[in-house]
Amino acid sequence: MEITSTIQNIIAMVLSVVVLVVFLVLLPTIISSVVTAQGSVGIDAGTSALIGQIPLVATVGGIAIAGGIAFVAGKNLTGR
C-alpha cells in the first residue's frame, strides 16, 4: 500500500505543476479582457482601478491553488 500512496502523492505534485501551467496559459486572456473592460466608455477612474486589480487577484489565486496542492502532496510524501 505504501507504493500506491507514494504514486498518488507524485501524481498530486505533477497535478500542481499542470494547474500552474494552465493558469499561466490563461493569464494573457485575463489581462486582455481587463484591458478591454478598462477601455469601456462610461467607466470612472475608481472602477477602472478596481478592474485593474483582477489580474493580481487571479495570479494570487492560481499560485495559491497550485501551491496548496503541492504542499499537501509534499507533506504526505514525506510522511510528516
Look at the chain and report how many structural domains it folds into.
1
Instruction: Give the predicted TM-score (pTM) of the model.
Output: 0.74
Cβ pair 77, 11 in contact under 8 A: no
Note down the domain range covering 23.
Answer: 2-78
Kindly report the average pLDDT of the chain as a whole number. Answer: 86
> For residue range 7-39, what is the model confidence (pLDDT) as tens digits?
888 888 898 899 999 999 999 999 999 999 888
Report the SS3 class of residue 56: helix
Q: How far apart are CA 54 and CA 37, in angstroms?
A: 11
> For residue range 1-15, what is the model confidence (pLDDT) as tens digits?
466 777 888 888 898
